[in-house]
Amino acid sequence: EVQVVESGGGLVKPGGSLRLSCAASGFSFSAYNMNWVRQAPGQGLEWVSSISGTSSYIFYADSMKGRFTVSRDNAKNSLYLQMNSLRAEDTAVYYCARVNGAVPSSDAFDVWGLGTMVTVSS
C-alpha cells in the first residue's frame, strides 16, 4: 500500500526548533518529488516546501525561506523538515505529500499523510 506517515510534531516555545519526519512506503521513494503542506487551525492549505527525487531542486514558500530546511534520505525512504526560529503563526498541521513526478512541476499531490500537529506557544 502506498502511504506516507508524518511524525515529530509537538509543543515548542517561540524561537525554538523542531524536526518533522515523513516515512514513505509502497512506492519507489527516490522517483518522486516530495512536499510539506501545512494547515493552520481553521485555515486553508499552505504549501511549505518541495524537494525533488534526487534533491537537485529545493523550493520554499517565501515566509519559510531561511527558517525551514527540507531534506530527504532516499536510502531510508524518509523526508524531513527542520524548522527553526518558530513563531506562533507556524502553528499548524503539517502534511507530507507526494507529487506524481520526480521534480517540482504541474503534477498533482496524489498521496497525503494524516499530518502531524505543531504548536508554537509559550
Given the rule CB under 8 A, which residues bind other proteins? 35, 37, 44-47, 50, 57, 59, 61-62, 95, 97, 100, 104-110, 112-115
Query: Phi/psi at 121 (nearest 5 deg)?
Result: -160, 150
CB nearer to other proteins: give 58 or 75: 58
- Least distance CB 71 / other proteins (angstroms): 18
- Closest approach of Cβ 54 to other proteins, in Å? 16
Q: Which is nearer to other proteins, 62 or 122 (CB)?
A: 62
3-state secondary structure 58-109: EEECCCCECCEEEEEEHHHCEEEEEECCCCHHHCEEEEEEEECCCCCCCCCE
Left if phi > 0, otherwise alpha if psi is -120 to 50, otherwise beta: which for 19? Answer: beta
CB of 60 to other proteins, least distance (A): 9
Nearer to other proteins, 31 or 114 (CB): 114
What the block records as the C-alpha cell of 7 is 511524525
8: left (phi over 0), alpha (psi -120 to 50) or beta: left
CB of 75 to other proteins, least distance (A): 26
Nearer to other proteins, 29 or 94 (CB): 94
